[in-house]
Structure 1
Amino acid sequence: MKTHRQRRRATTVTAAFAATALALTLAPGAGWAATAAPDPTTTPTPEASPTEAATPPPAADETPSPAQTASPQPTPTASTSPEEAPPAKDARRTAAPDDGISELSAAPYMGWSSYSMQVYEGGQWITADQIMAQSDAMHDKLQKFGYEYINIDAGWNGGQDEYGRPIPSTTLFPDGLDAVIDHVHDNGQKVGLYLIPGMSLETAQKALPIYNAPGCTTENLLKQPLQQGDYWGFGYRLDFDNPCTTKYIDSIADLLGEWGVDFIKFDSVTPGSGIGDLSMDAREEVAAWSQALKRNDIWFELSWAVDINYADYWKQYADGWRVDWDVECYCGDEALTTWENVARLFPRLSDWWRHAGPAGWNDLDSLNVGNGKMDGLTRDERRTATTLWATSAAPMYLGNDLTNLDKYGLELITNREVIAVNQAGVPARPVSTATKQQVWYALNPDGTYTVALYNLGRADADITVDWSDIGLDGSAKVRDLWAGKNLGTEADGFTAGSVPIHGVRLLKVTPEKKAVLTVNDDSLRVGYAGDWVRNDGNEVPATSQPFTVAVSDTPGGGTPTPPATGLTVTLNDNDSRIGYSGSWGYSNNRGLGDHGDDVHYVETNGAAFEYTFQGTGIQYVTEKHESQGEVEIYLDGQLVDTVDTSLPAADGRLSQQVVYGVADLPSGSHTLRVVKKSGSFMLLDKLVVTLDSQLSTTSGAFNRAAPADITVDVLRDPSELASISIDGEPLERDADYTLSGTTVTLKSSYLAALPVGDATLDFGFTGDHLDDVHATATDGDSVSFTFRGTGVTWVAPKGPDQGAVDVYIDGKKVKSVDTHGDSRVSNQELFTVSGLKDKEHTIKIVKTSGDVLRTDVFRYTVKKVG
């Protein structure tokens, strides 16, 4: 409760100002339109009901403004690849003494938001009585577990004052909004409100004076020529070249501070919110609001589905940001959400997880798990959703009616061990998203791991986590956090038996004495000082390449000509490496000309498939048909295209159509994700990947009648050749093949045992740990890692463009290390020390020479964890 803050009682709206447009278009009006919400996977027209703020009819004390009734100009365009690409920067914002990270965002916030119930009940759900009832219910049931925010969403406002600042609706709050705020604060809680960018044309034309800014009015605050300011077209973009604009934002933020507001949700933020082409751009306004709200100690949350290309910008100015569309299903009082709206968050978080931390949090929207009769989820799905919010370190704010929670819902949202996972603030990352049985994990500051085993499939399944996959070498104790039971000690991993459909097991894994823990370069525990970037061409991913051998047995025919094979690999839609999210089906024996005579298909908008590949290009191949529609194409987390897979009915059906392709990508790891946007169906037939060659040739030939070895050169450091295999079975080095220098010799004795025809060998190469590194070109830049243990090893690449570094332990220089190498080689142990006292230590690596410094892994040995 902010008793220290002087609160200004909300001004009663006068008849004159009740009829004016809001200065900041805050989803005007106090009623709620009982209209269908737009499909969140389509780009709506300006006249469509907004996803978060469906244009409501005015309350009795309000008159709609032109911004509420007229079609805005200009019309927003569909998202395409951004016109200006932000520079590649470090994966997350790193705290520093002068970094300015808000103390508010030290951990994800916990609370409640009105919006899900506003949608569910089809009417305005934010009256004074209702808000105070939610506050009382939170105080009685949830507050002791950490829930403290009561956030009032769109529609709370009722006009503007004589300075163009918003004022609350007197219909919703007849005793004033300040009475509600006081009630929430008296319950020991915090209160939030809702804003969106821009200003109405009417407010600008009135030339209203700006409070506490002599000589400034609302006139000339709009950017010229006029640009739409928000997704729904309520207002226009502000001009921050005019210093009065910042003063106007300050005047509103200071008013909110006087009211005692603790939280602002800033909706329709672009780039994002369905607009990625910079035809709308709210970044300047985000920065202005951030500075004004920070001065008033107000949490600043961005919404909705902000563009990941600008993640560093959002982290600089906000405490949290929504990463996807609304979780609500917009299905009236049938349900608050659906499983599909939860499941689609998994692939989204596989891109976003590394951007969250004490600088701000990935917002997954309301957690609607409190009452099975309204949630729209099964019991297992409710627990899975709660686990996902907790392990993602996402703000845990509930969307249910807090006065009507069921017993199971209360058990979910008040489990102290699960809440502790969330509040530890370490977002989990996936081992892989190429399967529906997924392992997500986080290494906590105390050396324990949080591990979630998710079954996204359609049948019960056993799910195994191998300790090696999460960076743990050694045995570990296992505890089931939902069951509250210790499960014993496991040497190499743990298998959860029969995890139910859409279910989860949540584990705490505690390494035992002498275990070695591997910490990747993008862990929150690794700190960077200077101008570091993640990957940006500095990485070498693990990869594999096929090598085709044509085997014949023609007497006297000599060695045949090797087959002409290119550097492309075709993956059928049933390839296990393709990850599907949503309710996908599989259809085979179609007889329609599809590759492999089969396809995967899905009907739900927002469903997606994803594939990570090592190469320079990829093609998405599918059918085209009248039943299909638009799909969104994401490459490496960026929306790059929206393609139409439909055909006029008269054109019938076309199979094996390349609807999207890209070539000449930088050599390395890339991820393609395709999301259904419209139409009845989206299909996947096959993917065609262009590889980056690792071999001097892609094929060879062998004649049993004239046997001879086959040689091929590897085009990277030979130490990185990890294996040669066929159909998953490894060849034995020295027995089946030899490696001398860069030359691989496939022995004729092995080749003679292959059947006649084409045999495909797979050459596997190691790369940087988890296919990523951090790099800097500036001398004096450093990377550091703090741990408790008895030894530490720094693992990083060597390369011809690298030089020397200084190594410090606990602030004392202990060694200079040369990281130069004749060729680029990954996974080099460049420094190691053992025999340290079992206490907290810090290792720091400082660049002193060379063109670039790369860092990959820290490994440390523990004596005691916890």
Structure 2
Amino acid sequence: MRRRVRLTASLLAAVVAVPGVVVAGFVTAAPAAAAPIVQLTAPPMGWNSWNRFGCDINESLIRGVADAIVANNLDDLGYRYVNIDDCWMASTRDGQGRLQPHPTRFASGIRALADYVHARGLKLGIYSSAGTATCQGLPASLDHETIDAQTFADWQIDYLKYDNCNNQGRPAADRYRAMGDALRATGRPIVYSICNWGQQNPWLFGSDVGGSLWRTTGDISDNWNSVLSLLDQQAGLEPFARQGAYNDPDMLEVGNGGMTTTEYTAHFSLWSLLASPLLLGNDLRSVSSTTLGIIRNAEVIAVNQDWGGSQGRRIRDFGNTEVWTKPMSDGSAAVVLFNRGGSAATVTTSAAELGLGGSSSYTLRNLWTGATSSTSGTISASVAAHGAVMFRVGRAGTALPPPAAGTHQAGAMTWLASSNGWGPVERNVSNGEQAAGDGRPLTVNGTVYASGIGGHADSAVHIWLGRACSRFTAQVGVDDEVTTTGSVRFQVYGDGRLLGYSDVKTSSAGPSTLSVTTTGYATLELRVTDGRNGISYDHADWGDAVVTC
């Protein structure tokens, strides 16, 4: 009942309650969070100075990058924000207590720089920290939120990256709320980027304090191991993203020289699928044609900018190879076949696992080569070491007939596909150990269910609804056959779109009801993920799971 666990102990704190409308401890639909200060329709795109230049910045660099964005037609693709990171400010505030730009490196002032950037149809971002000093020891904004927010507004700033250094141990939500309130009070639409490195679970409070995005990790570095580490930390955070409020696994390193073209292509593919902000971190004034070929891929960018009801998520983990997918608003799905290993490997999934089962054929478009093909359902490719193959998959052909009218036990219905973290998913019994049918009666905290589904994180069952079913309901929890560290989250998807999810359930918790409306959806996905602390003992029961058609 154990397997390799990639996440570190520092992520155990993520096993916490989910905000939103809760019934019997469970969210019955994706929650509506408080409004961010700026109502973005898609993840922000642009450039940030830190990854390539650190503190070696000045107004000439910022002007040059703005000019390069336009010259390379990156603005036409959506790259609009030119963001200055740490070290733009003088070492002291002025006599009125206001932040000042560095007197020689930004001698013309930030407002003049904003005017220059705005004249090119772009937007200017700036940096501060929710602490007594920035990460480089310069004046920051803790307890200066009102005056600093107004200063940024007076300078016509469009984006604030708000860091976490020197925070005095004060609660993150309080510190970030103070700046969010101050930004909102200025009346200027400033995108609020919460950069507290995933500490104290910003995905739980980010929207409530005005954020449009929140960092889920520490800083990225320009190497493959860093990309893998940050990617692993995204698994399980997909329920907390929504249109206009995004998980942020940090900025892009594409073109900075520390990785291969293959690795940069995988990095860009995955960050796009994750609905991550796409903030370039290279020197755009001398960018290579190879780098431009990656960052100007309009079809991959379209995946990032489209909201189809869920951010990208990992649906299969085979060890060195993985499958990640994201639903698109037109009913198709994007998929990344990913190879984190050191030699080429074939990666295979199916349309059913993407939430598109039930059709007789499918169209495939390779978003990096432009090649198109068709399949009866299998999606497979040889993927280079440290590489990714990215497809967009659409339905074609004819569909299966819908289930008959009435109430159906999910454990007795036809499954389009299933997968499980330990042995097979079981019908009407618990997960057991390994062999099919070796489970026991489904039992959660003493309550026994005669029917349902027994799984083990990470687990998924895909069921055909044919757009003819109105509701799914189950009693969910960790099975009594494990009495130690089991912790899981139940999620329900329709055609790949998140419909509802649970709080993290542990071995000691009783069963709770998870019920979602399924009207209009062709497929149902019942997924169990771990509580972000590894999948050991994660035996998960969908007790009395029924579909009403």
Give me the TM-score of the superposition, normalised by structure 2. 0.71
Contact 2:46–2:278, Cα closer than 8 Å, also in 1: yes
Q: Report what 2:4 is aligned to.
A: none
Match of 2:238 among 336, 353, 357: 353
| Shift in CA distance, 449/267, structure 1 to aligned 2, threshold 3 Å | same
| Worse overlay, 394-403 or 99-108 | 99-108
Q: Report what 2:110 is aligned to.
A: 177
1:318-370 residue CA offsets vs partner (Å, 9 max, x unmatched): 11111112112xxxxxxxx1111111122211122222222411222221213
Distance 1:541 1:771 in 2: 15
Contact 2:123–2:158, Cα closer than 8 Å, also in 1: yes
Helix, strand or coil: the match of 1:171?
A: coil
Distance 2:269 2:183 in 1: 31
2:328 counterpart of 1:432: no
| Shift in CA distance, 771/431, structure 1 to aligned 2, threshold 3 Å | closer
For residue 547 of structure 1, report the CA deviation from its aligned partner. 8.8
Alignment of 1:810-821 (within 5 A): none
Distance 1:135 1:719 in 2: 61
Distance 1:457 1:79 in 2: 25
Amino acid at match of 2:120: N
Q: Report what 2:411 is aligned to.
A: none
Contact 2:43–2:277, Cα closer than 8 Å, also in 1: yes
Alignment of 1:272-283 (within 5 A): 279-283=169-173
Distance 1:394 1:352 in 2: 12
Q: Report what 2:282 is aligned to.
A: 400
Distance 1:541 1:258 in 2: 63
Q: Report what 1:660 is aligned to.
A: none
Helix, strand or coil: the match of 1:854?
A: strand
| Shift in CA distance, 547/110, structure 1 to aligned 2, threshold 3 Å | closer
Q: Report what 1:290 is aligned to.
A: 180
Q: Which runs of 5+ in 1 are unaligned?
A: 1-40, 43-77, 201-229, 239-244, 272-277, 329-336, 519-539, 549-690, 697-713, 722-764, 773-788, 800-825, 829-842, 845-850
Match of 2:431 among 520, 544, 558: 544
Q: Report what 1:263 is aligned to.
A: 159
Match of 2:514 among 854, 857, 860: 854
Distance 1:289 1:456 in 2: 39
Distance 2:75 2:11 in 1: 44
Match of 2:71 among 140, 144, 165: 140
- Aligned residues between the structures: 441
| Shift in CA distance, 85/462, structure 1 to aligned 2, threshold 3 Å | closer
Contact 1:106–1:359, Cα closer than 8 Å, also in 2: yes
2:468 counterpart of 1:791: yes
Distance 2:491 2:104 in 1: 66
Q: Report what 2:212 is aligned to.
A: 319
Distance 1:517 1:363 in 2: 41
Amino acid at match of 1:403: R
| Shift in CA distance, 325/199, structure 1 to aligned 2, threshold 3 Å | closer
For residue 511 of structure 1, report the CA deviation from its aligned partner. 1.4
Distance 2:31 2:441 in 1: 40
2:369 counterpart of 1:483: yes
Helix, strand or coil: the match of 2:432?
A: strand
Match of 2:354 among 470, 482, 494: 470
Contact 1:156–1:168, Cα closer than 8 Å, also in 2: yes
Contact 2:212–2:245, Cα closer than 8 Å, also in 1: yes
For residue 415 of structure 1, report the CA deviation from its aligned partner. 0.9
For residue 798 of structure 1, report the CA deviation from its aligned partner. 6.0
For residue 493 of structure 1, report the CA deviation from its aligned partner. 1.9
The structure with the larger Rg is: 1
For residue 516 of structure 1, report the CA deviation from its aligned partner. 7.0
For residue 194 of structure 1, report the CA deviation from its aligned partner. 0.7
Helix, strand or coil: the match of 1:483?
A: coil
Alignment of 1:117-516 (within 5 A): 117-119=52-54, 124-141=55-72, 142-158=74-90, 159-199=92-132, 248-268=144-164, 279-294=169-184, 295-307=187-199, 309-317=201-209, 318-328=211-221, 337-370=222-255, 374-425=256-307, 426-473=310-357, 474=359, 475-488=361-374, 490-496=375-381, 498-512=382-396, 514-515=398-399
| Shift in CA distance, 542/307, structure 1 to aligned 2, threshold 3 Å | farther
Distance 1:314 1:260 in 2: 23
Amino acid at match of 1:157: M
| Shift in CA distance, 451/345, structure 1 to aligned 2, threshold 3 Å | same
Helix, strand or coil: the match of 1:351?
A: coil
Distance 1:170 1:232 in 2: 17
Distance 1:483 1:352 in 2: 30
Contact 1:695–1:715, Cα closer than 8 Å, also in 2: no
Matched residues, percent identical? Answer: 26
For residue 313 of structure 1, report the CA deviation from its aligned partner. 0.7
Distance 2:513 2:434 in 1: 34
Distance 2:249 2:428 in 1: 30
Distance 1:161 1:149 in 2: 27
For residue 280 of structure 1, report the CA deviation from its aligned partner. 3.7
Distance 1:249 1:110 in 2: 26
Q: Which structure has the higher relative contact order (CA within 8 Å, separation 6+)?
A: 2
Distance 1:516 1:105 in 2: 38
Distance 1:348 1:177 in 2: 35
Amino acid at match of 1:100: A
| Shift in CA distance, 250/478, structure 1 to aligned 2, threshold 3 Å | same
Q: Which runs of 5+ in 2 are unaligned?
A: 1-6, 21-26, 403-426, 477-489, 493-498, 501-510, 524-549
Contact 1:308–1:352, Cα closer than 8 Å, also in 2: no
Match of 1:114 among 46, 49, 52: 49
Distance 2:122 2:327 in 1: 31
| Shift in CA distance, 790/716, structure 1 to aligned 2, threshold 3 Å | closer
For residue 381 of structure 1, report the CA deviation from its aligned partner. 0.5
Contact 2:42–2:244, Cα closer than 8 Å, also in 1: no
Distance 2:252 2:48 in 1: 9
Distance 1:695 1:450 in 2: 38
Helix, strand or coil: the match of 2:67?
A: helix
Amino acid at match of 1:319: S
Distance 1:440 1:346 in 2: 11
Contact 2:334–2:391, Cα closer than 8 Å, also in 1: yes
Amino acid at match of 2:295: I
Distance 1:434 1:855 in 2: 30
| Shift in CA distance, 180/291, structure 1 to aligned 2, threshold 3 Å | same
Distance 1:434 1:452 in 2: 14
Distance 2:162 2:247 in 1: 15
| Shift in CA distance, 235/466, structure 1 to aligned 2, threshold 3 Å | same
Distance 1:397 1:256 in 2: 20
Distance 1:80 1:357 in 2: 22
Distance 2:152 2:491 in 1: 53
For residue 101 of structure 1, report the CA deviation from its aligned partner. 3.9
